[in-house]
Structure 1
Amino acid sequence: MFSLGSTHSYYLYGSPVDMRKSFDGLCGLVRNHLDRDPASGVVYVFLNRGRNLIKLLHWEQGGFVQYYKRLEQGTFTPPQKAGNGAPIRWPELVMMAEGILVQGYRQKKRYQNRL
């Protein structure tokens, strides 16, 4: 339980979401608009119109987990390249959640084991 980290895949839902949606509503968005399986183990990231609320939907063994954060001041700034259903990396999610805005960065190549 509570097992998010760099080993997961993250997808940002690009349109503003009504944050009254709970598990079933968010699963419906994933199925119908992203054409993906919400129970695949991928983490789906949702922002509201004002970008002061964020929800993460994640399937863990046995059921869905939802993470929810409300900012009292400021907004979440999604990565610039993020479109609807765009993959985002763990460092980008952490920077977005912490309010760190990086402009003009370039990711250097790193070794990836392709087993």
Structure 2
Amino acid sequence: MEKQGSRALLAAVIGMGVLLFIGSLALVGVLVHRMMHPVATPATAVAGPVAAPPVVAGADAAGDLVMDEAPGTHVQAVTARADGLLAVVLTGGGVADRVVVWDPSGRRIVARLVLGRS
């Protein structure tokens, strides 16, 4: 009986060793495949043009973007997004803080977010 139990134990140990070896090969294969075929991470962007509230913005004769903001408004921060848009935080001017999403290549304001009421 002892010989039968030790044979079963030996078979189980060999089987587990083979499974560990196959699993290690699979892991190395996945790592090599991912290194050889990198996937660009998708940008967390809006899936299309956002319908923004009306913004009085246009291009003047020189082609510059002109925004109609209250006097005293200043730019607090500018953040570049992966999709090429700029998120511009505007403060002051006697109105609530706001974030404007600007598309420099299209020379247009894509969206506005008012952060609170003043």
Measured against the shorter chain, the TM-score band is: under 0.3
Q: TM-score, normalised by structure 1?
A: 0.25
The structure having more radius of gyration, on CA atoms, is 2
- Structure with more helix by fraction: 2
Q: Name the structure with the higher strand share.
A: 2
